[in-house]
Amino acid sequence: MADSPLRILFLAGSARCGSTLAGRMLGELPGLVNAGELGLSLLFADAQAVTVPCGCGQPEAECPFWSAVAAGRPVRDFGLPWRTRNLLRLWRRMRRDAALRMAMAEVLVPLYRNVAAQAGAEWVVDISKNPAIGLILSELPGVELAVLHLVRDPRGVVASWRRRKAYLPKIRPIKVIRWIWFASVLSEVLARRAPLRWRFRYRDFIADPEAVLRQVAAGLHRPAPELAFLRPGAARFHTQHILFSNPDKMDGGWIPLRVPEVNLDRPARWLTNLLTWPLLARYGYFRPNR
Ligand SMILES: [Zn+2]
């Protein structure tokens, strides 16, 4: 129905905040479809060069789901006129420019609607994380945005980027810390604009996914889910057509849900503590046993 709002559940946070696993869990809720980093693949300038298989393991061009959604066109081409490295500037331009908002809505809203229709879902989960993309989506007329801000211990995020991961490179701590600040502050700005919002720490999500998922389902006015894909400490997922994201998206079988340990060498730990202590305090990482 064209008149009903387009419902997007946007997962905001820093890169490596645990969004791949969280997104897969959200995608198992009835009425939700996990589209992966759809907004990022549409609007981020460097997305054009990225060649990452879909979550089903097929190249995106050969994936039947995305071929049906985009009528055989590459999905990322839909965002071509607006693609940029400075997504925050694009958001600011949209706020001033009604014609730009309408032009973007005319292309992007039907695309997201097709994702929902193709999956028979009411909510499209977009795990792009970059809150600037959430802000852009929030400006599109006809969009009802819910925001889930996923917080991960900055030391864990820095540690994660110290290692190469399949097609993802290593990144220096100082650069990662800049991202963490950007993502944290802006995710809070974004969440304030959304009528439906949650903030969860990744470790709490992983420790008790059932509680988190029930809370989200209730907030989205969905019936209480059965969550048969969960068993204590593990989850098993159906195939989800996840765009971009982390290579873990293709892992099959029972996937262990482990609360991540922070394994960071001493200099990097000191640096991260020094530069992110207000965030560590705000999100409760200084409290013992939490
Ligand atoms: Zn696919």
**Domains along the sequence of the chain with CATH:** 6-282 (3.40.50.300)
* Residue 29: strand, helix, or coil: coil
Give the distance (Å) from ligand 1 centre to CA of residue 130: 22
Q: What pLDDT score does 238 carry?
A: 95
Give the distance (Å) from ligand 1 centre to CA of residue 58: 6
pTM of the model: 0.94
Task: Please state, as a whole number, how many other Cβ atoms lie within 10 Å of the Cβ of residue 192.
Answer: 9
* Residue 11: strand, helix, or coil: strand
* Reported confidence tier of residue 243, pLDDT bands at 50, 70, 90: very high
Looking up tokens 């905040």, which residue turns up? 17
pLDDT, mean of residues 92-106: 97
Q: What pLDDT score does 259 carry?
A: 79
Give the distance (Å) from ligand 1 centre to CA of residue 238: 12
* Reported confidence tier of residue 168, pLDDT bands at 50, 70, 90: low
Give the distance (Å) from ligand 1 centre to CA of residue 35: 9
* Beta-strand relationship, 143-151 and 123-129: unpaired
**CB under 8 Å to 73, separation ≥6 — which residues?**
none
Give the distance (Å) from ligand 1 centre to CA of residue 146: 24
DSSP 8-state secondary structure symbol assigned to residue 224: P
Beta sheet of 234-235, edge-to-edge order: 230-231, 234-235, 255-256
Using the predicted structure, report yes or no on whether residue 219 has a pLDDT greater than 60. Answer: yes
